[in-house]
Amino acid sequence: MERMEALNLVKKHTKNKNLIKHMVATEAVMGALACHCGADVEAWRLAGLVHDLDYDETVEHPEQHGLLAAQRLQELGFPAEIIQAVRAHNELLGHARISRMDQALYAADPVTGLIVAAALIHPAKKLSAIDAQFVLNRFGEKHFARGASREQIKACSQLGLSLEEFISISLEAMQNASRELGL
Protein backbone atom coordinates (compact mmCIF):
# COMPACT_ATOMS: atom_id res chain seq x y z
CA MET A 1 0.00 0.00 0.00
CA GLU A 2 1.27 3.45 -0.88
CA ARG A 3 1.66 6.13 1.76
CA MET A 4 -1.33 8.24 0.65
CA GLU A 5 -3.61 5.20 0.66
CA ALA A 6 -2.43 4.36 4.18
CA LEU A 7 -2.92 7.95 5.33
CA ASN A 8 -6.46 7.91 3.91
CA LEU A 9 -7.09 4.65 5.77
CA VAL A 10 -5.86 6.28 8.99
CA LYS A 11 -8.10 9.31 8.43
CA LYS A 12 -11.09 7.06 7.71
CA HIS A 13 -10.73 5.25 11.04
CA THR A 14 -9.40 8.09 13.21
CA LYS A 15 -11.44 11.13 14.13
CA ASN A 16 -9.00 12.75 16.55
CA LYS A 17 -6.66 15.05 14.59
CA ASN A 18 -3.99 14.91 17.30
CA LEU A 19 -3.98 11.12 17.08
CA ILE A 20 -3.48 11.36 13.32
CA LYS A 21 -0.56 13.72 13.94
CA HIS A 22 0.85 11.23 16.45
CA MET A 23 0.72 8.50 13.81
CA VAL A 24 2.41 10.77 11.26
CA ALA A 25 5.09 11.61 13.85
CA THR A 26 5.62 7.92 14.56
CA GLU A 27 5.86 7.31 10.82
CA ALA A 28 8.64 9.90 10.58
CA VAL A 29 10.54 8.46 13.55
CA MET A 30 10.22 4.92 12.21
CA GLY A 31 11.61 6.01 8.85
CA ALA A 32 14.63 7.59 10.50
CA LEU A 33 15.17 4.51 12.67
CA ALA A 34 14.98 2.27 9.59
CA CYS A 35 17.68 4.38 7.92
CA HIS A 36 19.83 4.10 11.03
CA CYS A 37 19.30 0.33 11.25
CA GLY A 38 19.72 -0.35 7.53
CA ALA A 39 16.15 -1.63 7.30
CA ASP A 40 13.27 -1.22 4.83
CA VAL A 41 12.37 2.45 5.26
CA GLU A 42 8.99 2.24 3.51
CA ALA A 43 7.84 -0.76 5.56
CA TRP A 44 8.95 0.79 8.85
CA ARG A 45 7.29 4.12 7.97
CA LEU A 46 4.08 2.30 7.08
CA ALA A 47 4.12 0.45 10.42
CA GLY A 48 4.47 3.77 12.24
CA LEU A 49 1.66 5.36 10.27
CA VAL A 50 -0.92 2.61 10.86
CA HIS A 51 0.07 1.43 14.34
CA ASP A 52 -2.87 3.12 16.12
CA LEU A 53 -5.42 2.48 13.38
CA ASP A 54 -7.93 1.03 15.86
CA TYR A 55 -7.21 3.33 18.80
CA ASP A 56 -10.48 5.31 18.58
CA GLU A 57 -12.44 2.06 18.57
CA THR A 58 -10.51 0.40 21.40
CA VAL A 59 -9.90 3.35 23.71
CA GLU A 60 -12.35 1.91 26.27
CA HIS A 61 -10.76 -1.54 25.94
CA PRO A 62 -6.97 -1.06 25.81
CA GLU A 63 -6.43 -4.80 26.04
CA GLN A 64 -7.93 -5.01 22.54
CA HIS A 65 -5.82 -2.22 21.01
CA GLY A 66 -3.86 -3.57 18.08
CA LEU A 67 -6.05 -6.60 17.43
CA LEU A 68 -8.66 -4.87 15.29
CA ALA A 69 -5.93 -2.97 13.45
CA ALA A 70 -4.02 -6.20 12.80
CA GLN A 71 -7.17 -7.84 11.45
CA ARG A 72 -7.86 -4.89 9.12
CA LEU A 73 -4.27 -4.76 7.95
CA GLN A 74 -4.28 -8.49 7.26
CA GLU A 75 -7.49 -8.16 5.20
CA LEU A 76 -5.84 -5.37 3.22
CA GLY A 77 -2.81 -7.53 2.47
CA PHE A 78 -0.22 -5.74 4.61
CA PRO A 79 3.05 -7.61 5.14
CA ALA A 80 3.16 -9.92 8.16
CA GLU A 81 6.07 -7.97 9.69
CA ILE A 82 3.97 -4.78 9.87
CA ILE A 83 1.01 -6.65 11.36
CA GLN A 84 3.31 -8.23 13.97
CA ALA A 85 4.79 -4.83 14.89
CA VAL A 86 1.30 -3.34 15.31
CA ARG A 87 0.31 -6.20 17.62
CA ALA A 88 3.57 -6.12 19.57
CA HIS A 89 3.50 -2.37 20.28
CA ASN A 90 0.74 -2.88 22.87
CA GLU A 91 2.19 -4.71 25.86
CA LEU A 92 -1.28 -5.65 27.06
CA LEU A 93 -1.66 -8.07 24.15
CA GLY A 94 1.32 -10.09 25.28
CA HIS A 95 2.91 -10.42 21.84
CA ALA A 96 6.68 -10.71 21.97
CA ARG A 97 8.70 -8.01 20.27
CA ILE A 98 10.81 -10.21 18.02
CA SER A 99 12.02 -8.11 15.11
CA ARG A 100 13.89 -4.83 15.08
CA MET A 101 10.75 -3.25 13.61
CA ASP A 102 8.76 -4.48 16.63
CA GLN A 103 11.33 -3.02 19.00
CA ALA A 104 11.55 0.27 17.12
CA LEU A 105 7.78 0.81 17.06
CA TYR A 106 7.52 0.02 20.76
CA ALA A 107 10.08 2.72 21.61
CA ALA A 108 8.99 5.22 18.94
CA ASP A 109 5.35 5.29 19.99
CA PRO A 110 5.82 7.16 23.31
CA VAL A 111 8.84 9.25 22.30
CA THR A 112 6.69 11.25 19.87
CA GLY A 113 4.44 12.36 22.74
CA LEU A 114 7.42 13.35 24.85
CA ILE A 115 8.87 15.42 22.00
CA VAL A 116 5.55 17.14 21.20
CA ALA A 117 5.04 17.97 24.89
CA ALA A 118 8.56 19.40 25.06
CA ALA A 119 7.94 21.56 22.00
CA LEU A 120 4.66 22.83 23.41
CA ILE A 121 6.21 24.06 26.66
CA HIS A 122 8.86 26.02 24.80
CA PRO A 123 7.85 29.67 24.25
CA ALA A 124 8.07 29.24 20.46
CA LYS A 125 5.87 26.10 20.53
CA LYS A 126 7.81 24.74 17.55
CA LEU A 127 9.86 21.61 17.04
CA SER A 128 12.55 23.72 15.41
CA ALA A 129 13.00 25.66 18.66
CA ILE A 130 14.09 22.67 20.73
CA ASP A 131 17.10 20.39 20.67
CA ALA A 132 17.75 16.90 21.97
CA GLN A 133 19.14 18.20 25.27
CA PHE A 134 15.91 20.13 25.88
CA VAL A 135 13.94 16.89 25.40
CA LEU A 136 16.37 14.91 27.56
CA ASN A 137 15.94 17.43 30.36
CA ARG A 138 12.17 16.92 30.17
CA PHE A 139 12.66 13.14 30.06
CA GLY A 140 14.21 13.37 33.52
CA GLU A 141 11.23 15.26 34.95
CA LYS A 142 9.04 12.59 36.52
CA HIS A 143 5.74 14.47 36.17
CA PHE A 144 6.32 15.85 32.68
CA ALA A 145 4.37 14.09 29.88
CA ARG A 146 3.42 11.25 32.22
CA GLY A 147 1.74 9.34 29.41
CA ALA A 148 5.08 8.92 27.64
CA SER A 149 6.43 5.76 29.27
CA ARG A 150 10.08 6.30 30.09
CA GLU A 151 10.67 2.54 30.30
CA GLN A 152 9.19 2.06 26.85
CA ILE A 153 11.33 4.88 25.43
CA LYS A 154 14.44 3.36 27.04
CA ALA A 155 13.74 0.19 25.06
CA CYS A 156 15.64 1.99 22.30
CA SER A 157 18.66 0.23 23.78
CA GLN A 158 17.42 -2.94 22.07
CA LEU A 159 18.21 -1.18 18.80
CA GLY A 160 21.73 -0.46 19.99
CA LEU A 161 20.92 3.20 20.60
CA SER A 162 21.63 5.26 23.66
CA LEU A 163 18.77 7.37 24.94
CA GLU A 164 20.54 10.49 23.65
CA GLU A 165 20.99 9.02 20.17
CA PHE A 166 17.39 7.83 20.06
CA ILE A 167 15.99 11.20 21.07
CA SER A 168 18.26 13.00 18.59
CA ILE A 169 17.17 10.75 15.72
CA SER A 170 13.50 11.01 16.72
CA LEU A 171 13.55 14.78 17.14
CA GLU A 172 15.28 15.35 13.81
CA ALA A 173 12.76 13.10 12.07
CA MET A 174 9.86 15.01 13.60
CA GLN A 175 11.46 18.35 12.77
CA ASN A 176 11.63 17.20 9.14
CA ALA A 177 7.89 16.46 9.31
CA SER A 178 7.03 19.63 11.26
CA ARG A 179 4.95 21.12 8.49
CA GLU A 180 2.60 18.13 8.38
CA LEU A 181 2.60 17.96 12.18
CA GLY A 182 1.72 21.65 12.51
CA LEU A 183 4.62 22.20 14.89
Q: What's the rounded Cα separation, in Å, for the pair 97 and 86?
A: 10
**Residue 157 confidence (pLDDT):** 96
Is residue 4 predicted with pLDDT exceeding 90? yes
| Overall average pLDDT of the 78-96 stretch | 90
| Overall average pLDDT of the 163-178 stretch | 98
For domain 3-176, the question of CATH label 1.10.3210 is answered with yes
First to last CA, the chain: 27
The amino acid at 7: L
27-36, 75-84, 85-94: segment of lowest average pLDDT: 85-94
**pTM (two decimals):** 0.95
Q: What's the rounded Cα separation, in Å, for the pair 49 and 43?
A: 10
Is residue 93 predicted with pLDDT exceeding 80? no
Q: What's the mean pLDDT when you consider all of the chain?
A: 95
Q: How confident is the model at residue 142 (pLDDT cuts 50, 70, 90)?
A: confident
Q: How confident is the model at residue 14 (pLDDT cuts 50, 70, 90)?
A: very high
- Enumerate the H helices of the chain as residue ranges: 3-13, 17-37, 41-50, 55-58, 67-75, 80-88, 100-121, 132-139, 150-154, 163-176, 178-181
Q: 20-60 pLDDT, tens per residue?
A: 999 999 999 999 999 999 999 999 999 999 999 999 998 89
Cβ atoms of 98 and 84 closer than 8 Å: yes
**Residue 20 confidence (pLDDT):** 97
Q: What is each CA distance from 50 to 63, 85, 88, 165, in whole angstroms?
A: 18, 10, 13, 25
